[in-house]
A and B are shown apart, each in its own frame.
Chain A
Amino acid sequence: DIQMTQSPSSLSASVGDRVTITCRASQSIDTYLDWYQQKPGKAPKVLIFAASSLQTGVPSRFSGSGSGTDFTLTIASLQPEDFATYYCQQSYNLPKTFGQGTKVEVK
């Protein structure tokens, strides 16, 4: 299985901050990498697919980059509704696997 490792596991930030979350795959996954946001009691919601494509309806302050083994999710200016947990997920190989999550908390 491809292991997905996110860092940090949690971070504290303020509204307006630029936030960066990284995801590393245990082997090259090209750009078969998606990012999801999950709020408590809710299902994950896709933000970015194919490493850098923004899902329809997702604010442009979210962006993704990377290829191969190293990927980044950036929130350009953190908004109150962005406090949540973020997951990366690879679809290069089966089984599909997720990172362990990064919780973005209020500073």
Chain B
Amino acid sequence: QVQLQESGPRLVKPSETLSLTCTVSGGSISSYYWSWIRQSPGKGLEWIGYIYDSGTTKYNPSLKSRVTISVDTSQSHLSLKLSSVTSADTAVYYCAREACYFDSRTCFYYFDYWGQGTLVTVSS
């Protein structure tokens, strides 16, 4: 059974960098897309970006200038860095795996495994 576990500081000061790690166990990190998603009361669920095991990344344009997602396949770790945070970045942060449902035409991706989420508060 695949399990994802987010970890990192729960309190970050404004203008600093938020750093989280997602540890993947029970399955390979290779050959999957791995996303970070956050949820705040004001903005609902927001996709932050993904990384493929080769290191290919895509980010939400709304956050692109501040986000870095990386992967360490040897350690089965993903990481998220979000710079220059403000109170608007206070949210529960999730990591999630994307599964592919392949039909005759294409791959339909959906989030099949999620971490339990970690609340990060931005405050001085």
Contacts and interface: CB of A to CB of B under 8 A. Distances in A.
Interface size bucket, A side? Answer: 20 to 34
Among B45, B60, B108, B110, max chain A CB count under 10 A is at B110
Contacts of A70: none
B111 A50 contact: no
B45 A89 contact: yes
B6 to A, nearest CB: 10
B110 A91 contact: yes
Chain B binding surface, main DSSP class? strand
Interface stretch (A10-18, A20-28, A30-38, A75-83): A30-38
B47 A95 contact: yes
Q: Is the interface of A mostly helix, strand, loop or mixed?
A: loop
B116 A49 contact: no
Contact of A44 (B61, B109, B114): B114
Interface string A27-59: 000011010100000111110011001010000
A98 B110 contact: no
B101 A49 contact: yes
A96 interface: yes
Given A43-B117, A94-B58, A50 B108 contact: yes
Interface string B65-106: 000000000000000000000000000001010010101000
Interface of A: 1, 31-32, 34, 36, 42-46, 49-50, 53, 55, 87, 89, 91, 94-101
